[in-house]
Structure 1
Amino acid sequence: MIEKQIIDHVKVNRIQPGNTEKIPGQFYATLMVADQECDFFVDGVQVETVQNAVLFIHKNFHWQLKRRGKHPCSGFVLYLSEQILNEPMLSKLQINDVRILHSDQIHHAQLSPIIEGRILSIIEMIDELLTTGLDHREAAILSLINTFFVYCDGKCNIKRELGQRNSKASLVYRFKKLINTHIMELHDVKEYCERLHVSPSYLNESVQEVLGINAKNLILEQLIIRIRKNLKFSEKSVKEISFDLGFSSPEYFSSFCKTHLGQSPSSYRRS
């Protein structure tokens, strides 16, 4: 059994009528969204519209749930620490394996009204036990969490993909993460496509559909941000910056800056 009090490892929050987002800390989140449509975002990108659904979310994702139209969002978020998920009662669950080992995906289960009511009852019991001082509440809460996941796994038809539209949003999310990590070495769309195992045409189609720009412009956008930051706040020479940012020569870097910043690197630094 976990050594810290269970309230440090398990939290239940109601979904807010307007917007709800991930709380601070390294928690895996299970969102139970009730009967009103809500828009689900990851890293600022809309992944899908959810209704009568459970979402299983890795701790590395920054997510938001936003109301859609006039109707408020409703439901619960069940937050669990990794220590809880490693408890012997839970560690063998297939649903645990799905969530932890696939941090590049959001997993989804659609709910029927009957199943939704039963799952809500389980979460409400967990929430109630967290606020009491009853003997053996830790064991009771773990048992309810186990029941919740077994029920989801057996009754909710958990999917590993969210469909074509959401597949594209997931691809764009992974593309943005790769750019953030490799922008100083990779400037070409094809280089990212090789790492993402997709064709340039499909990546462009996905980025255009999700963000309204093409893949090359997304790379340029991030590269220009790095250039501005380095020229304004770094003590390095223009030559050092050009090589640090992956340009083949200072001359090419200067030409790039004149095209995209409207002036040479030295002029931009002085402005």
Structure 2
Amino acid sequence: MKTINFHKTECGVDFFINILNQDTINYLQTDVHNTDYFEVVFFSKAEGTVHINDTKINIHDNSIVFISAFQKRAWKINQDGLEFKTLIFREDFLNEFFADKFFTHKMLFFYQLNHELLLNVSDSEMKRFNEFLVEIKTELVHTKKDSVHIIRSILYYLLQTINRRYASANDLMIEKDDKNYAVQYKSLLEKHICQKKNIEDYTVLLNISRITLNKAVKEQYNVTATELLKQRLLAEIKDRLVYSNKTVSEISFDLNYAEPGHMMRFFKMQTGMTTSEYLESLSTV
């Protein structure tokens, strides 16, 4: 599987941020691939689908699609009349750019496990978002001494505005402060899910009680801390089953299970299918 990397020189920019369109990026390829950067794709005119990991998303006019780094995707987009702009960025750069190590985790549409990675907006909203993207692209291409400040302010406003719309559409709460335990917990899951599968592991890392963690996660994401952990672990197992070419035993070892049967029982409880049945179901889609 191909991984596409962000190269500043090839992109002709000085930052690990860029704005691309149908002339500079190809969303007609159907092969499964991933990237080392995040993508927010603003489809003004489009008809088709994208598979992100094991989820199929239908794309229409005025659709925004959110893809986190290293998520597997395969596009099936009709090229007739296709119009879009894509915001791409490296996570480490963006977190440093905004001086907030949890910034991407505070965007509810990234690392999302419980809601569709899609937001449908109005014509007027899409037009407004595209105007912001054009401004950012202009500053990237024609960089001046104050360009970094202009890019930072426009990009921050754009992402926060979309985050607010996504939260409203999915009945989610915007994070309340920089010490939000739910956001920190979500970040820790991304780092440690292969080794740590118990809530207590994370309460120790956060130095809080299980009750405090569960309350924060429930308020932020409308699920319990345990449910969020199970969702992330299930996503990791599915990803490895489909893309790693490893056996169930090898995957269970990589995920620190004492024996394969424990992982297989967890998978059956969460999906209602065995791992073999799950893989077979994908072949019929």
Scaled by the length of structure 1, the TM-score of the pair is 0.57
Give the AA of the match of 2:119.
A
Structure 1 counterpart of 2:283, one-letter code: L
Change in Cα spacing, 1:178 to 1:184, as seen in structure 2 (3 Å) is closer
Where does residue 28 of structure 2 map in the other structure?
Answer: 19
Distance 1:158 1:202 in 2: 33
From 208, 212, 215, give the equivalent of 2:284.
212
Give the aligned residue type for 2:20.
N
Partner of 1:80: 89
**Letter of the structure 1 residue corresponding to residue 47 of structure 2:** E
Equivalents in 2 of 1:196, 1:98: separation in Å?
A: 28
Find the aligned partners of 1:146 and 1:175 in 2 and give their Cα distance: 33
The answer to whether the 8 A contact 2:16-2:89 is kept is yes
Matched, 1:185 2:238: no
Aligned residue type for 1:59: A
Aligned counterparts of 2:128 and 2:17: Cα–Cα separation in 1: 20
Flag structure 2 segments of 5+ consecutive residues without an equivalent: 1-7, 173-220, 222-233, 252-259
Contact kept? 2:38, 2:90, Cα under 8 Å: yes
Higher deviation after alignment, 13-22 or 76-85: 13-22
Deviations 1:70-120 (A, max 9, x none): 634321111111233213637365764435555898632221111111111
How far residue 53 of structure 1 moved from its aligned partner, in angstroms, is 1.7
Moved more, 77-86 or 194-203: 194-203
1:153 to 143, 146, 163: 163
Report SS of the residue matched to 2:144.
Answer: coil
Alignment partner of 1:134 is 2:144: yes
**Which deviations, in whole Å up to 9, do the C-alpha atoms of 1:200-221 show, x marking residues without a partner?**
34978865554218xxxxxxxx
Give, in whole Å, the separation in 2 of the partners of 1:20 and 1:8. Answer: 26
Partner-residue secondary structure (3-state), 1:98: coil
Identity of aligned residues (%): 10
1:236-251 map, 5 Å: none
**Relative to 1, partners in 2 of residues 1:190 and 1:80: Cα closer, same or farther, differing over 3 Å?**
same
Q: Which residue of 1 aligns with 2:238?
A: 175
The correspondence of residues 1-271 of structure 1 with structure 2, limited to 5 A, is 7-15=14-22, 19=28, 26-42=36-52, 47-51=56-60, 52-68=62-78, 71-87=80-96, 89=98, 91=100, 96-98=106-108, 101-102=111-112, 107-156=117-166, 157=168, 159=170, 174-178=237-241, 180=244, 183=247, 185=249, 191-192=263-264, 194-195=266-267, 197-201=269-273, 210-212=282-284
Bigger Rg over Cα: 1
For structure 1, list consecutive stretches of 5 or more residues without a partner in the other structure: 162-170, 214-271
Query: How far did residue 64 of structure 1 move?
Result: 3.6
- Give the residue type in structure 2 aligned to 1:53: S
Hey, what's the Cα distance between the residues in 1 that align with 2:140 and 2:270? 46
State the Cα distance separating 1:58 from its structure 2 match: 1.2
Q: TM-score normalised to the size of structure 2? A: 0.54
